[in-house]
A and B are shown apart, each in its own frame.
Chain A
Amino acid sequence: MRNVIARAIDVKRQYKLGKETVWALKGISLDIYEGEYLSIMGPSGSGKSTFFNMIGALDIPSSGTIEFMGADLFALPEEKQAWVRCNKIGYIFQTYNLVTVMTALENVTLPMVLKGASKKACDARAAEVLDQVGLGHRLHHLPGQLSGGQQQRVAIARALVNAPSVILADEPTGNLDKATGAEIIDLLKRLQVEHNATIVTATHDVKMLAISDRIAWIRDGKLDRLEERKDVKFTKE
């Protein structure tokens, strides 16, 4: 049987803007399985990023919760939440969120530095991962000296460096041209297959559909439907 790595339980999120209340999430329940490639699709403003932030413990639900590795994520003390973020989840954002004053290598070492690894171990591992994403020749460049696609690869390398079980990618190809976007998608797929990582991406990009195992359609803060795409996956391979 497939293991559930993360489980959303009736997750709601409201934003208060003055007197008005906006319900970004109106109660989403969803199981995420170990090793699957799950795409979260939906129109702009439907709540994808909001949901993505909940799974990654980056935001707190107004009600409902996320179970991660069997534990209530939002009931955990800070050092356990930090451990999950550091060791179990790799984040990839549409806007990369690299530290602009740090080189590619320094950016990628951050998650290792934060868990107390030695500088030597950090540098060696970061160089290895950057090489894997095809940036072995750009270790000492600053993000500003890299193209958008290259910056996103640095972000991917950073997400990978601690070998997390889940990679959360919120519109990873949103700022990239078609060809570069396709390369990033291939890279994510390879991660899933080669490292048995769980990939969750929020996206508008229909190219993602072809390689996803499941697609969760979100509309207006609710889970609209869930589709299995096993057949597509098999014909692709």
Chain B
Amino acid sequence: MEQIGKQVKLPLGRALQIAVQGIRIRFGRSLVTVSGVVLGVAFFMSNVTSQLIKQAIADEREQRQTLNLMLTLMKSEIGDLSGKTVALATFGETTVSERDLLAVLRKTPGLTLGAPEALGGKAHLLLVLGAGPATASPDILTAGMAQPVLLDSLAERAYPSAKPGSSLAQVRRELFFGRESEEQADKLKTQAEQATFRTLWIGIISILVTIIGIANALLMSVTERFREIGTMKCLGAMSAFIRKLFLIESAMLGFAGAVIGTALGTLLSFAGYGLTFGFGLITAALNVGGLLVAAAACIAGGTVLSMLAAIYPANFAARMVPASALRTNV
């Protein structure tokens, strides 16, 4: 009498083929599943992007405020800037705000900007920028100026001491960046902590919404096929093969959904903030590295989540006695 054989284990390549064919013949339904993942991931990604953009806008605003403060201080010393001559001494690295200030000054019509030595006594004001210690004393830097006015961007910059006997009475040092008072620092700190808490909270909620959305989409797509899984088992499919099939399928659908969702979420967030604050501002200020990391995490997370959501019910159905799988009516 003939012996009972062993069912062949289909190679991964064949399973891949069958999974792709399955997605193709169920294209409409697959799109619905993918959209579920897209919605979840897009929601999450738009939150992340919004957060990054808000941060960027806040930084950018702070910079602009500093810039405006610098300009206001200069104007309060020497009046309207056009037609004036400003001497510039830079020691060490300059900050973004300082560079912005220089850019604005260079564009101001009628304003002459140059080194203290070159301008001699014609300068109305001496601007000292940069983070390093000064290499010349204030009296040398302002030598020849009718009314020596020195504006310094650092409150505690070290200067070589002046020659004995020279008068420093008219030299004024203004702070662009003073150290905040302790009180102010505390206030800023609590504000920052509150913002972090809010961000964290929104993050947790959006993660939950995303997880539930994706899990729901994939769970549905598998449970509605319990009968089909039962049929496949009747026809000789093994549990491991069914698991493999759903793993491949959910990985592909999940990946597609996560990629589209990430792109969509980023774009929507960009569009929203861009229309309110101007695209120039947000693209210039955005932390591109952070955005890329978030996008990669979203794609990986969405894919893995989809696989997890599919494999649980698929595994359950694959282990079911075929008769009960066939009886299910979803």
Q: Contacts A86-B235, A97-B231, A101-B25: A53 and B323 contacting too (C-beta < 8 A)? A: yes
- The CA of A93 and the CA of B239, in the complex, are separated in Å by 22
- Contact mask for chain A residues 85-118; partner B; CB cutoff 8 A; 1 contact, 0 none: 1111001010001110110001000110111100
Q: A85-B233, A111-B236, A116-B10 are in contact. Are A80 and B4 (CB under 8 A)?
A: yes
Q: Give the residues in chain A near B14, CB-CB below 8 Å.
A: 116
A101 partner, pick from B8, B26, B227, B230, beta carbons under 8 A: B26
Q: When chains A and B are docked, how far (Å) is the Cα of A78 from the Cα of B320?
A: 12
Q: A83 with B25: in contact, given A56-B234, A115-B236, A158-B235 (CB under 8 Å)?
A: no
Size bin of chain A's contact surface = 35 or more
Known: A110-B232, A114-B237. A97 touches B227 (CB 8 A): yes
Q: Complex formed: what's the CA distance from A56 to B326 in Å?
A: 13
Beyond A58-B326, A87-B5, whether A78 also contacts B234 by CB under 8 A is no
When the two chains form the complex, which single residue of B4, B8, B29, B323 contacts A59, counting CB atoms closer than 8 Å?
B323
> Digit string of B192-235 for contact with A (CB within 8 Å is 1, else 0)?
00000000000000000000000000000000000110111111
CA of A58 to CA of B6, assembled, Å? 17
Q: Is the CB of A69 within 8 A of B5?
A: no
Q: Do most interface residues of chain A lie in helix, strand or loop, or is the interface mixed?
A: mixed
Chain A residues in 8 Å Cβ range of B26: 101
B20 partner residues in chain A, CB cutoff 8 A: none
A111 lies within 8 A of B235 (CB): yes
Whether A71 pairs with B4 at a CB distance below 8 angstroms is: yes
Q: Closest CB of chain B to A115's CB: distance in Å? A: 6
B237 CB contact (under 8 Å) in A57, A71, A82? A82
**Cα-based distance from A97 to B5 in the complex (angstroms):** 26
Q: Which residues of B contact A59 (CB under 8 A)?
A: 321-324
Q: A82-B238, A114-B236 are in contact. Are A102 and B7 (CB under 8 A)?
A: no
Report Cα–Cα, A99/B254, bound state, in Å.
Answer: 23
Query: Does A84 count as interface, using CB distance less than 8 angstroms?
Result: yes
Q: Is A121 at the interface (CB under 8 A from chain B)?
A: no
Q: Please state if B322 and A80 are interface contacts (CB–CB under 8 Å).
A: no
A58 near B236 (CB under 8 angstroms)? no
Q: Using Cβ atoms and an 8 Å threshold, which residues of chain B touch A18?
A: none
* Interface status of B182 (Cβ within 8 A of chain A): no
Interface residues of B in 1-54 (CB under 8 A from A): 1-10, 14, 18, 25-26, 29
Q: Which A60-79 residues sit within 8 Å CB-CB of chain B?
A: 60, 68-71, 76, 78-79
Q: Which of A93, A98, A115 has the most CB of B within 10 A?
A: A115
* A70-B1 in contact (CB<8A): yes
Closest to A60 in B: B321
Contacts of B7 in A (CB 8 A): 79-80, 82-83, 86, 114-115
Partner of A99, one of B8, B18, B29, B228: B228
B30: shortest Cβ distance to chain A, in Å?
10
A157 to chain B, nearest CB (A): 12
Which residue, A68, A86, A98, A116, has most C-beta atoms of chain B within 10 A? A86
A-B contact pairs, 26 of them (CB 8 A): A53-B323, A68-B4, A69-B3, A70-B1, A76-B4, A78-B238, A79-B6, A79-B9, A80-B5, A82-B236, A87-B236, A88-B4, A91-B234, A91-B235, A97-B227, A97-B230, A99-B228, A102-B25, A110-B232, A111-B235, A111-B236, A114-B232, A114-B235, A114-B236, A115-B7, A116-B10
* 6 interchain residue pairs of minimum CB distance: A86-B236, A59-B323, A82-B7, A83-B7, A58-B323, A58-B322
What 10 new A-B contacts, CB under 8 Å, besides A58-B326, A78-B239, A80-B5? A79-B9, A83-B4, A85-B233, A85-B234, A86-B236, A97-B231, A97-B326, A113-B18, A114-B7, A114-B241
